[in-house]
Amino acid sequence: MSTVVPVSGQATLRMQRQHLPMLITVAWKNVRLRYKSSLFGFLWTLFNPLLFLLIFLFIFSRAFPQVENYPVFALTGLIFWSFFATTSAHVLSSVVDNAHVLRSLAVPAQVFPLAQLMAGLFNLLVSFIPFAFILAWFGWRPVSATILVIPVVALFACFLFGLSLALCALNVYFRDIGILWSALLPALFYLTPVAYPPDLVPADLQWVASLNPLYHFIGLVRVVLYDGQAPGLELWVPAIGLALIALLGGLSVFNLLRRGFIANY
């Protein structure tokens, strides 16, 4: 009698190599959709950091005379902040936004957050090209340490993904998470030394500032892109640690909660 093979249930819901084409298709769709039906398309990716740069130049460049070449200082931070803010918000809402698909097709839920991360990374990498020209205009020059931006982006992406994955899973059950996150993001922006030099924080409060994970990542970015130096171990270790903790934590929260997604979309 039968060649009934045990399928699915367990197997299909987990991310496997067979889901790779699906993942790439969805990620590419996200890239295309982000600015579809808009006149300026991709230019909007540049617009947000540049607008902030303009405001910063207007308000802050006199305020921090100790910062040499303030535009480069601000822009290196802003590019990564903008990546963090946009991508975390997209990852966070990805599962809820695709509830109709997850309810009706055997697609692993992980596909959607991962595809949003990939789309965000793609956007960041492409935006590096025009930003390099803008930075060069302000007197920035690439040096050999600039290549280290690749591992820095990788670590930052791991941290960002882990954190937003946990938020994404919780958001399925409690939509408050998404609302809370959009309220927290601006606060986090001022808490992170994007516009101001990190030594602006009084010495005895530095430990409070360093509790903010983004403090370490923006610091790492600055050393590589603004100082043009290879970061020391004391900068790599916290970034690697935070990236690993976020990723492992995010994945376990997501895996724990995803079984119940179906009843709560």
Partner 1 sequence: MAELAIALHGLQVELLVQRYGFRSIKEYLVSIGSKRLLERKCILHDVHLEIARGECFGIVGRNGSGKSTLLRVIAGIVEPTKGTVSVLGRVAPMLSLGVGLEPELSGWENVALCSSLLGLSRSDIAHTKDYVRNFAGLSEPELAMQVKRYSTGMTARLGFSIATANDPDVLLIDEVLAVGDAAFQQQCYRRIDELKRSGCTIVFVSHFLGEVQRICDRAACMEQGTIVKVGSTHEVGLHYHDLLGIPLNP
The binding site for partner 1 (CB under 8 A) comprises 1-13, 18-19, 21-22, 25-26, 29, 32-33, 36-37, 100-107, 173-175, 259-260, 262-264
Quick one: 38 or 206, whose CB is closer to partner 1?
Answer: 38
How many CA within 13 A on the CB side of residue 131?
27
How many CA within 13 A on the CB side of residue 164?
29
C-beta of residue 83 within 8 angstroms of C-beta of residue 159: no
Record the tokens describing residue 250, joined without a space: 């995010």
In the complex, minimum distance from the CB of residue 11 to partner 1, in angstroms, rounded to a whole number:
7
In the complex, minimum distance from the CB of residue 185 to partner 1, in angstroms, rounded to a whole number:
21
In the complex, minimum distance from the CB of residue 103 to partner 1, in angstroms, rounded to a whole number:
7
Quick one: 13 or 134, whose CB is closer to partner 1?
Answer: 13
| Whole-angstrom Cα Rg for the chain | 20
DSSP alpha helix (H) spans, 107-198: 111-137, 149-173, 176-191
Quick one: 46 or 101, whose CB is closer to partner 1?
Answer: 101
Q: Is 26 helix (H, G, I), strand (E, B) or coil?
A: helix
Which helix H or strand E contains 54, and what residues bound it? helix 43-59
C-beta of residue 171 within 8 angstroms of C-beta of residue 93: yes
Residues 6+ apart with CB under 8 A from 107: 19, 22, 101
Closest CA to 164 of 258, 253, 260, 257: 253
Quick one: 17 or 62, whose CB is closer to partner 1?
Answer: 17
How many CA within 13 A on the CB side of residue 181?
23
In the complex, minimum distance from the CB of residue 44 to partner 1, in angstroms, rounded to a whole number:
16
Quick one: 166 or 235, whose CB is closer to partner 1?
Answer: 166
In the complex, minimum distance from the CB of residue 125 to partner 1, in angstroms, rounded to a whole number:
23
Quick one: 103 or 208, whose CB is closer to partner 1?
Answer: 103
In the complex, minimum distance from the CB of residue 110 to partner 1, in angstroms, rounded to a whole number:
14
In the complex, minimum distance from the CB of residue 158 to partner 1, in angstroms, rounded to a whole number:
26
Quick one: 1 or 205, whose CB is closer to partner 1?
Answer: 1
